Amino acid sequence: MNSAENFLQNKQLGKQASSEPAQPGPIQSQPLQQLLTRPDIWQLASGQRRPRTGVSTGYRGLDALLTSHGWPRAATTELLIDKAGIGEMSLIIPTLAELTRQGRMVILVNPPHIPYAPALAQAGVQLEKLLILHPRGQRDQLWAAEQSLQSGACGALIQWQGKETPADKELRRLQLAARDGDCLHFHFRPGSCAQAPSPAALRLQLQSDGEQLALHLLKQLSGKSGQRLHLARNPNLVRRDQPLH
C-alpha cells in the first residue's frame, strides 16, 4: 500500500470513529461530579433541596439570620473590626468550646493579645486543645494558616491579618484550604476591608456598642445581607494589657 492509499484509509477510519456517539464513562463524568459536590458552588436548580446546615454559633438570633443556620462549614468567615479587644472573641467562643469538647483542635494564628486562659476555661474551652502559632512575616503567616487549614487536623483556625493586606489569590487559597481540610476558618481583618471584594463565604462587621457587640451582616453566599444584630459580649477573654505585637 502506497502512502496515498494509507492516508485515505486513515481518513476513512477517522470519519467512522467521529460518526459514532461518544459513550460517557465514569472518568468523563468524574470532574463534573466533583464540581457539583463543592460547597462553594451553588446550584440554582437544586438550591432549595440541598440541606444548608452549618455549625451553630451558639446565638439563636445570629443562627436565624444565616442561611446555613450557623457558621458555614469548610469555609472562610471574615470578621471585620476596627480595633482588637472589643469582645470579638465572645462571638466565636461558644463554637470553639463545642469543638474542643468534641476533641477537635483549635489553632490561633498571631492573636494580637494574650488569650486569658481562666476566662476561656470558664467558657468551656478545653485548653489542652488550643494551639497558638506566632509565624513571623506575612508570607510565613499565610503558609502556616494554609497548611493548618488543609491538614484535616483542626476543627477551627482563627487568624488575624497583619499589617500587610493579603492579595485576592492568597485569600482564595485560604478559602480552598478550609474546604479541603473541612475546617472552620475565622479571619479577623480591619474594618477598612469591608469595601474590598472577598471570596469568604460569610462577612460580618463588628463594633463595640456599650456592653454589647454590634454585628452587621455584609455578605453571605445564597442569602440575604444587610441585617444588624446586637449580642452580649465578654471583654475579659483577652489580656489587653499585654499585647503580643
CA distance 26 to 205: 45
Domains annotated for the chain, with CATH where assigned, are 60-243 (3.40.50.300)
User: What is the predicted pLDDT for the residue at 236?
Assistant: 64
Residue pLDDT, tens place only, 36-81:
545 455 444 433 444 458 999 999 999 999 999 999 999 999 999 9
CA distance 19 to 110: 61
Exposed e or buried b per residue across 19-44, where buried means at least 16 C-beta atoms within 10 angstroms of its C-beta: eeeeeeeeeeeeeeeeeeeebbeeee
Q: Which of 67, 19, 17 shows the shortest CA–CA distance to 39?
A: 67
- 143 or 25, greater pLDDT: 143
User: What is the predicted pLDDT for the residue at 238?
Assistant: 60
Residue pLDDT, tens place only, 145-162:
999 999 999 999 999 998
CA distance 237 to 195: 29
- 9 or 88, greater pLDDT: 88
State the pTM of this model: 0.76
